[in-house]
């Protein structure tokens, strides 16, 4: 069995989640919009999932809009808010996932768009937010809660406070943060928050946009009026049920998961220090407990990734979604990392199924690969 260290790209489906989904792929097939008994039973399952997802981030179930995943929720958050409230300008961090940054860039011709600064530790500069807020009215700011490549946690509540004090709106992509750290919708003070099921051991193809009901969102998809007319289309019932179960389990196990993931990361990073030429990205910032993003000076990241793959160790060389183009990571570029070092980047992201022995296997291989004796 290969060792899967690419859990920020996706996580394995929890077997308890799979069991919860199965009846909705067979016996309970009715359309949740149908008024008959079978339809109502399926509707109830969606309502339970809505409560479970809301509970994970301490929102009210009525604030949850189910979508086909994080990508759709990000598109809905940005376009929905901009069109729904007739906003004038958008500020976005350059380290966002493409499902945020590319949406914002696509709106550049119609709206004023500002990209915020990022420091060398991988965090969005609040000074650049201050400047934006001073010079704009009627705006949306989108900054992710934790970055998918570096794991760096962003100053979202401080930015949300600035946005609110100028009557602006704030969206955060919390896809990587939930299940790995405590995330509280109210406390963060954001108006919109994106979640995705398959990053928390749920199925692919389900996600949610959480919204503050004081705001107006324009739908992107029109049709049968599902999800309070904000996302039409017959619901992906089994995936939504699985997302709900995954959210419930994530909440139950949050403290335990955090401690376990952090122990794996500490084991890796302590041993990585023995390898010459190591550069740890975002090491000075507060990070997700499961993510280590690094380069070995003079070693090409793609070549190392292939060698690790041959050994049965699966890692990423940068953003998973961009991994079929060989451009250096846009996140490292925004952090001002030199291109030769950025091209060596390898991301290890742990999941709850990983073990300390697997971490040691990776270290053994890296030591061999860099010609260092394992006697350290
Ligand atoms: N946002 C972030 C930060 C991500 O890491 C990802 C997936 O990699 C997404 C959004 C997209 O989520 P989904 O795969 O559910 O569309």
pLDDT score, position 372: 43
pLDDT score, position 1: 87
Distance CA 283, CA 286 (A): 8
Q: Which residue's entry shows tokens 């990734």?
A: 305
pLDDT score, position 327: 82
Task: State the distance from the centre of ligand 1 to the C-alpha of 34, rounded, in angstroms.
Answer: 32
176 pocket-lining for ligand 1 (C-beta < 6 Å) = yes
207 pocket-lining for ligand 1 (C-beta < 6 Å) = yes
Residue identifier of the C-alpha nearest atom 5 of ligand 1? 148
pLDDT score, position 370: 86
Task: State the distance from the centre of ligand 1 to the C-alpha of 70, rounded, in angstroms.
Answer: 5
pLDDT in tens, the chain (376 residues): 899 999 999 999 999 999 999 999 999 999 999 999 999 999 999 999 999 999 999 999 999 999 999 999 999 999 999 999 999 999 999 999 999 999 999 999 999 999 999 999 999 999 999 999 999 999 999 999 999 999 999 999 999 999 999 999 999 999 999 999 999 999 999 999 999 999 999 999 999 999 999 999 999 999 999 999 999 999 999 999 999 999 999 999 999 999 999 999 999 999 999 998 999 999 999 999 999 999 999 999 999 999 999 999 999 996 444 445 578 899 999 999 999 999 999 999 999 999 999 999 999 999 998 864 334 4
301 pocket-lining for ligand 1 (C-beta < 6 Å) = no
* Ligand 1, atom nearest to 197 Cα: 15
The two domains 3-11+254-370 and 15-252 share their CATH topology (first three levels equal): no
Q: DSSP for 260-290?
A: HHHHHHHHHHHHHTTSTTEEETTTTS-B-TT
Q: Which residue, among 56, 84, 68, has the nearest Cα to 191 in the 3D structure? A: 84
Backbone angles phi, psi at 206, to 5 degrees: -140, 145
3-11+254-370 maps to which CATH number?
3.90.1150.10
70 pocket-lining for ligand 1 (C-beta < 6 Å) = yes
69 pocket-lining for ligand 1 (C-beta < 6 Å) = yes
Backbone angles phi, psi at 152, to 5 degrees: -65, 135
Cα distance from N-terminal residue to C-terminal residue, the chain: 28
Task: State the distance from the centre of ligand 1 to the C-alpha of 299, rounded, in angstroms.
Answer: 28
Task: State the distance from the centre of ligand 1 to the C-alpha of 111, rounded, in angstroms.
Answer: 24
SS3 of residue 246 by DSSP: helix
In angstroms, how far is CA 117 from the centroid of its own chain? 20
Domain locations in the chain?
Answer: 3-11+254-370, 15-252
96 pocket-lining for ligand 1 (C-beta < 6 Å) = no
15-252 maps to which CATH number?
3.40.640.10
Q: DSSP for 321-368?
A: GGTTS-SPPHHHHHTT--HHHHTT-EEEE--TT--HHHHHHHHHHHHH
Backbone angles phi, psi at 72, to 5 degrees: -65, -40
Choice among 321, 339, 353, 372 that is catalytic: 321
SS3 of residue 78 by DSSP: helix
Task: State the distance from the centre of ligand 1 to the C-alpha of 53, rounded, in angstroms.
Answer: 17
Q: Is position 321 annotated as part of the catalytic site?
A: yes
Q: How many CA atoms lie within 13 A of 360 on its CB side?
A: 5
């Amino acid at each position: 069995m290969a060792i899967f260290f690419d859990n920020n790209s996706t996580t394995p489906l929890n077997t308890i989640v799979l069991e919860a989904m199965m009846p909705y792929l067979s016996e309970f097939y009715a359309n949740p919009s149908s008024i008959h008994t079978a339809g109502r039973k399926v509707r109830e399952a969606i309502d339970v999932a809505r409560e479970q997802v809301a509970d994970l981030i301490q929102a009210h179930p009525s604030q949850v809009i189910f979508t086909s995943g994080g990508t759709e929720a990000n598109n809905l958050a940005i376009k929905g808010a901009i069109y729904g409230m007739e906003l004038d300008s958008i500020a976005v961090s350059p380290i966002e996932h493409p499902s945020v940054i590319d949406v914002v860039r696509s709106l550049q011709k119609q709206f004023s768009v500002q990209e915020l600064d990022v420091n060398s530790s991988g965090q969005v500069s609040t000074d650049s937010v201050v400047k934006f807020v001073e010079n704009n009215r009627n705006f949306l700011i989108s900054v992710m809660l934790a970055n998918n490549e570096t794991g760096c946690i962003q100053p979202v509540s401080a930015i949300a406070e600035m946005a609110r004090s100028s009557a602006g709106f704030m969206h955060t992509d919390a896809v990587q943060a939930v299940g790995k750290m405590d995330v509280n919708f109210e406390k963060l003070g954001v108006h919109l928050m994106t979640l995705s099921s398959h990053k928390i051991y749920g199925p692919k193809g389900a996600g949610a946009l959480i919204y503050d009901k004081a705001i107006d969102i324009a739908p992107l998809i029109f049709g049968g009026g599902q999800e309070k007319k904000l996302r039409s289309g017959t619901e992906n019932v089994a995936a939504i049920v699985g997302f709900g179960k995954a959210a419930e389990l994530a909440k139950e196990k949050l403290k335990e998961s955090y401690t376990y993931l952090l122990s794996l990361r500490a084991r890796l990073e302590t041993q990585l220090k023995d390898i010459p030429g190591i550069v740890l990205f975002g090491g000075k910032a507060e990070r997700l407990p499961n993510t280590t993003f690094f380069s070995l000076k003079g070693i090409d990241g793609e070549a190392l990734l292939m060698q690790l793959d041959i050994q049965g160790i699966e890692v990423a060389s940068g953003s998973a979604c961009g991994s079929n183009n060989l451009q250096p990571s846009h996140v490292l570029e925004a952090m001002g990392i030199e291109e030769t070092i950025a091209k060596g980047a390898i991301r290890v992201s742990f999941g709850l199924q990983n073990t300390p022995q697997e971490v040691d296997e990776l270290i053994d291989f890296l030591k061999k690969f860099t010609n260092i004796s394992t006697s350290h």
